[in-house]
Structure 1
């Protein structure tokens, strides 16, 4: 059955954190928007431990999520502020980052992925129950004079001025619109798990560059931390084959005892680390956001932050368009693409470059990378700029 309704301004495919937050912000401003997803959104039942997927959220991302309405619905007792960052090189390199002078807010927040998505969903159900439909996939797309006709798996058909792909790194919509994606493996796998510590983390996000690999321990509420270990392929498989006690001992050997004893409290997961670039972010009446548009190394924890800033930029572009162009106007979409390409490319280059330098031969690069860290540690204004850039 075909719906005979006025065209939507925007249809968003993908009800993850980025897609649902974008839909809520547009809805608040009177934009006719619909969000669809192939799966129902799961409820987050707060576990005794912590969600396996943990995000380090920038202040800019927090602001966008507050604007969307989801941040206020999260259990604040499960959100850990990042008060400081410490980076340890593979020799004597040291780098510490703190909030800029005069800044009263923390550097960012550690949030559980399930809690964040569930909070957005609860807010959406309350303020805009018609915004989201799940159990749907796109079966066909037809171009019309001033809209796209999007045919869905249950026989529905919607017209929309703009179609937005927020459907992840393996975006089906990106392929439908013929936008090539280039994947560049980093040669590492990320192992993620949560740990109980016998000491105190002090709200400090810690990172170690060990020979050929990167280890991050992010603070969680109480005496807990979340591990992201970017390990070389064979070593990653060896770590996964260990018992929890053996794995904790292997981690302890690398990071020492500053946090006390480490005890693994979750089943570890792993995933391949790859950079992903797209040839273009837009097509006629079509735009990419979030993981559908880019993939970065997780060492700086910027993947979701970049996606939420895509959503914030696209929302501002559409909301501020004035009475002339509709939401699918090419000039608007080109403005969005130009605004987002550079900051994403900078972050991809920064994280990818650091991953390469610290994965390279220790003899060849060791002195240079650790010397550079120590020089940066003594340059307070540049450190302030780094903190400011990360929170844009």
Structure 2
């Protein structure tokens, strides 16, 4: 191998083993790790063994009983800043429409098909392959300033138990950046909106439907609350951010009433609010409650409460940050086209950026819109290979 660093990096990227990536992707898909359900443990065990077999240092930490986060490390040759890769081990339920068992991975030409291939077990497998080659570079004497760590959390698809545990128990050391291997089709995402959930409970007064004026309908009041939410949505849409657009509301669930012949005494809504960087979930809930009061919905037998139940912050990394530039150049050097921009989805990278203070980008194989959470979810193996090559280049450039 040439002694020139660029030549050595080229040689390492050409050593990416496509079938090793495919084998680990398929092994992870075969362990369902469906959430909700808290079933990540077996998939994490498969990943932990693969990392141990590769010579990584592996630590497991239970975020909840039977729900372990994983941290796998390739150590550099100094105690300088390292690089973090971030992923999650859970997948959403398969849902209808599959043409075969979603947890029996199958190949169709370049495609690997199965639940989690795109979101995001394929991306995790690509990181593991990259870390194998980075470890080889360290063994061969290439100077690497600090550790390369793969952090895989549980419960990303639901309430973020895993990443909250990570924030409370962060891996040691400083980091030049965090690359979240979520599916971006190898575009560099330097900013993401966050997410939050609210439960809106409306209580009214029951009465016989023959005399509805004797009661106070919680369902009617809930409809007015939805109108207030729509007004706020239009206000935000009128002033979009150039990178991330604007916050959005979605009333995802609604349940209420006692019976057809009864004025509804209760109604409960589950509401999603996508967050812009810096927005505070408690302030948003308080503002919605204030808007409901200002609209005159509260009172006369009606009470409305707004309670946040989940929070994932948004973030934005500066376009000229070295992590952004190195990531984009690594993709191009790996032979793929890329763009740099924002993402409407949310991910655990919001916590690494805001709570841990680590500059963060999202960059991974697969398609968040066309494949993730879809029947017959798939990822091209060629894209996994390019991702692994990109991760090697980015890590060795930054470190």
Q: Specify if TM > 0.5.
A: no
Q: TM-score, normalised by structure 2?
A: 0.30
Q: TM-score, normalised by structure 1?
A: 0.30
The higher relative CO (CA closer than 8 Å, separation ≥ 6) is in 2
Structure with bigger gyration radius: 2
